[in-house]
Amino acid sequence: MPHHRNSARFKSVYEQAATLPSEYLRCRFNSHRWGDDDDITYPDRKTVRYSCACDRCGAVRYRDFTRYGTRLGSGVKYPDNYVFDGTGTLSAEDNAIVRVAYFERTSNP
Ligand SMILES: [Zn+2]
């Protein structure tokens, strides 16, 4: 069930989406554009970390492995103001609101 445009949730998500820089909004719509170049670091003696950056928004994805290739963990570090304030994890309905903001930014009816 989509959020009604006048609901508090719609306003909270929409207002933040509508003020995102265009490259951030595009990453939210299209997902990130990870570069090919991995940065390889060793956070501790047992861990190998492969990181790469999104060449559009600057988010950094990292994946940690043991030296034997077993996965240890992964995550994404987002640039400042990429993550919405006070909304928690966005639901499918929330992401529809973000797409509405993207449509309004990118289309010329
Ligand atoms: Zn991105």
Residue 47 resides in a domain: yes
Tens digit of each residue's pLDDT (9 = 90 or more) over 61-75: 999 999 999 999 999
Position 59 in a domain? yes
Q: Is the pLDDT of residue 16 over 70?
A: yes
- Find the 63 Cα to ligand 1 centroid distance in Å: 16
* 23 CA from centroid of ligand 1 (Å): 7
Q: What is the mean pLDDT of residues 41-46?
A: 95
Q: Which residues surround ligand 1, an ion (CB under 5 A)?
A: 27, 32, 54, 56-57, 59
pTM reported for the whole predicted model? 0.82
What mean pLDDT is predicted for residues 76-102?
94
Q: Which domain holds residue 53?
A: 32-80
75 and 105 both lie in a single domain: no
CB contact at 8 A, 68 and 90: no
C-alpha of residue 55 to centroid of ligand 1, in Å = 7
* Position 109 pLDDT exceeds 70: no
Give every CB contact of residue 104 below 8 A, 6+ residues apart in sequence.
18
Distance CA 70, CA 48 (A): 10
Q: Which residues of 11-26 are buried (b: 16+ CB within 10 A; e: fewer)?
A: ebbbebbeebeebbbb
Compute the distance between CA of residue 72 and CA of residue 66 in angstroms, rounded to an integer.
7
